[in-house]
């Protein structure tokens, strides 16, 4: 069964740090781009970051640049999100997700993935004093 | 940034009825649009990608259409388990992803 399981969430004070993990199973993890997506309480979905199969490319939403770091360990089949300088507005359920679909750019030789077809159940991060 | 606007915000229908959900992009995104379903306390589930392709395991009552700036998710005959929140999503200006604000489909 294809599965993603997040862990590491919890209560942290503003300015603190937290490291989220996502364990993958049931598919060839090293073949996929992976993303983190979050959802604040009662709000919609917000993409946070993604990472290429070999970890050589990483991208972030502007609001977390310089504070969050996405990484992966293909040998351990896991994805991580290191979150520093946390703010109240970072309070959310954090989902890891597998990317799929998109198109291949012949000029750049880059495959651009557009969607997310496998999601974990999420882990809750609360930033509060 | 491309903004996705979903309408209506809430749709009240009865089981067996047809549901039509709309998603409008602030500029053309070709057909690079997905639809997700989210039930309370659960992760989103991919329903439709590339505007009209059903994801693996998605029932045929779900269909998507549109291109450019206007997109539609149609549920042909609502089942009790279809009442949820639906989000559209685009990534035409890679790597940024934007989601619509969601449409809540509730039982009338």
CA distance B86 to chain A (A): 10
Q: In this predicted model, what pLDDT tens digit does every residue of A60-87 receive, in sequence order?
A: 999 999 999 999 999 999 999 999 999 9
Are residues B45 and A47, on separate chains, in Cβ contact within 8 Å?
Answer: no
Q: Which two tokens stand for residue B51?
A: 């505007």
**Residue whose C-alpha is closest to residue B103's, from B42, B15, B37, B59:** B37
Ramachandran assignment for B15, one of left (phi > 0), alpha (psi -120 to 50 degrees), beta (any other): beta
The larger pLDDT score, comparing residue B11 to residue A101, is at B11
Contact B108, B65 (CB under 8 A): no
Q: In this predicted model, what pLDDT tens digit does every residue of A114-128 receive, in sequence order?
A: 999 999 999 999 999
Cβ contacts of B96 on chain A, cutoff 8 Å = 47, 59, 61
Contact B101, B90 (CB under 8 A): no
Distance of CA A11 to the CA centre of its chain: 19
Q: Is the pLDDT reported for residue A104 higher than 90?
A: no
């Amino acid at each position: 069964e294809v599965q993603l399981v997040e862990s590491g969430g919890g209560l942290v004070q503003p300015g603190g740090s937290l490291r989220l993990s996502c364990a993958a199973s049931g598919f060839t993890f090293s073949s996929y781009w992976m993303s983190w997506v979050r959802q604040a309480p009662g709000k919609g979905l917000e993409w946070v970051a993604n990472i290429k199969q070999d970890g050589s490319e990483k991208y972030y939403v502007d609001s977390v640049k310089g504070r969050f770091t996405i990484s992966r360990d293909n040998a351990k089949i896991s994805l991580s999100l290191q979150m520093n300088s946390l703010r109240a507005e970072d309070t959310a359920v954090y989902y890891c997700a597998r990317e799929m679909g998109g198109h291949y750019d012949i000029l750049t030789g880059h495959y651009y993935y557009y969607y997310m077809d496998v999601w974990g159940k999420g882990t809750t991060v609360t930033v509060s004093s | 940034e491309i903004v996705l606007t979903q309408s209506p915000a809430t749709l009240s229908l009865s089981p067996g009825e047809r549901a039509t959900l709309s998603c409008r992009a602030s500029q053309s995104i070709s057909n690079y649009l997905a639809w997700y379903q989210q039930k309370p306390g659960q992760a989103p589930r991919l329903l439709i990608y590339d505007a009209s392709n059903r994801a693996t395991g998605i029932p045929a009552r779900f269909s998507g259409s549109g291109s450019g700036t206007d997109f539609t998710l149609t549920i042909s005959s609502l089942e009790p388990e279809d009442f949820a929140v639906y989000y559209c999503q685009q990534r035409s200006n890679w790597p940024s992803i934007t989601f619509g604000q969601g449409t809540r489909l509730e039982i009338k």
